Amino acid sequence: MDDFGSGQGSAVVEFPETASKDLTADEILNANDEVVRPVEVPEWGGRVWVRGLTGSERDLFENSILEGRGRNQSVNLKNFRAKLVVASAVKGEHNKDRLFDDPTHVHRLGTKSARALQRVFDMAQELSGLNQQDVEQMTAELGKDQNGSSGSDSL
């Protein structure tokens, strides 16, 4: 259990075990692989529903923390946690509409309790398959570009 007795510690995404088989394109494209989990946030007086990002949404999120272009590109971690929470928080278990839909929400969420924000961020990170190594890898790859040991000016 976590500090608040909610049992909402680390999320384990479980999928039914099936015999391994070769999937078709239709099976992959029609698979319901969306995962939504609640996170208890007592500091905010309730719970937040978090959905794992899709591949396209994750790419947009990662792009949102990059500044500049080509050799001048860098990682900007300002409001990193708030950006991920804004991208992944939904209105409910069965209502997958984004909870935060105003452009000012990233900044405003960044002013909230770090502990509460971290709890929601951790769930969003896990459900979206993001980890610290991903950020470190992006930073390292940018460093290679800046040192001239890697390819082109475009991503």
| Mean pLDDT, range 83-98, rounded to an integer | 96
Indicate the average pLDDT of the chain. Answer: 83
Give the contacts of 85 (CB within 8 A, at least 6 positions apart).
48, 50, 100, 109, 117, 120, 121, 124
Return the pLDDT at 24. 96
pLDDT beyond 90 at 125: yes
CB half-sphere exposure, 129, CA atoms < 13 A = 10
The fold adopted by the segment(s) 36-147 is rbstp2171 (3.30.2220)
| Mean pLDDT, range 96-122, rounded to an integer | 96
Q: Could you read off the pLDDT of 19-63 as tens digits, one per residue?
A: 689 999 999 999 999 999 999 999 999 999 999 999 999 999 989
